[in-house]
Amino acid sequence: MRVRIHRIGICALAAAGVFAASLEVRAQDDSPREASRTTEKELKIVLSASMGSLTVGRGEPEKVFALEGGSGQNGAAAAVADYSIRNRVGYLDVTLGEAEDGEGSHKKSFKITHFDGGNWTLRLSEGLPISFDVELGMGKGVFNLTGLKVKDFNLSTGASDVSVAFDEPNEATIETMSIESGVSKFEGRNLCNARFRRFHFQGGVGAYTLDFGGELKSEVDVDVEVGLGVMTIYVPWETGVHLTYEKNWVSHIDCGDDLDAKGDNEYISANYYSAPGKMNIHIDSGMGEVKVRRR
């Protein structure tokens, strides 16, 4: 293993409330890479992965992040972690595999490149509000965000199998939660626990499941676009639903007997006006099929 740590003007920067550290690790084993909490009050991450398997979840409160994993079948994968704090905000930059950028470049990003079947786990502190900006290419992504304070979440996937779960109510509020899924499979579980105000999903070709289980005590907007795919949406019985649908001759929507039709492209639940939690859903489907179910 080769470890290189750069620290510049620590005392002066600490006195000014600014701290920066760069940790570079190139390893052929499964040794962890991590950073302990210091002065940061929140964390911002950009995750960019081309292939492999990535799991993101809750870690120890006093560790900003802990990265564990190993390479795939084609040999060892280098790992470079760069973490800095500016104005009490932590910025995490992790590169797994051979970096495409030249040495000395600096991006707040998480990259997985040039490795086959590598399995990586990123665990994050439950004590910091976290903003995610995620891009996944080919592979698998598991985001169990239960117990984390998620204040922003944007996800874009290519040919991936991805799941996102909030099995407990989020302690933060997400203004707009955005997910784009390409030729892929996507499953969202207990999404109302994310505590979003607006939710946007765009699907290309694939099978998608949006389970809006969880706690909802306000009125939220949900915008769903599907190309050539199959979408299934689950909404709890206690949640009021008002659904509008962009109708065309090649698309199909199936609400079963769970919602009452109000015209050609509008559906409403019997409890919409009385429910404490209300969901306004707008669906635009190309050649896709959309099912909406209550449970």
Residue 11, judged by CB atoms within 10 A of its CB (0-12, 13-18, 19+), counts as exposed
Distances 208 to 104, 160, 162, 184, 228 between C-alpha atoms, Å: 40, 12, 10, 8, 11
Strand partners, 138: none
Residue type, 98: E
What is the token pair recorded at 31? Answer: 């040794």
Domains of the chain: total: 1
Name the residue among 13, 83, 6 with its Cα closest to residue 44.
83
- Rounded to 5°, angle at Cα 68 from 64 and 72: 150
Tens-binned pLDDT, residue by residue, of the chain (295 aa): 333 333 333 333 333 344 444 444 444 444 568 899 999 999 999 888 777 788 999 999 999 999 887 655 554 455 567 899 999 999 997 766 544 444 444 444 444 444 454 788 999 999 999 999 888 888 889 999 999 999 999 999 988 899 999 999 999 999 999 999 988 899 999 999 999 999 999 999 999 999 999 999 999 999 999 988 899 999 999 999 999 998 777 778 899 888 999 888 899 999 999 999 999 999 999 888 899 999 8
| CB distance 143 to 164 below 8 Å | yes
Domain range spanning residue 109? 2-294
Q: Which helix (H) or strand (E) holds 10?
A: helix 10-15
pLDDT at position 78, please?
54
pLDDT at position 82, please?
80
Q: How far apart are CA 277 and CA 52, in angstroms?
A: 38
Q: How far apart are CA 223 and CA 158, in angstroms?
A: 20
What is the token pair recorded at 70? Answer: 């190993």
| CB distance 203 to 232 below 8 Å | no
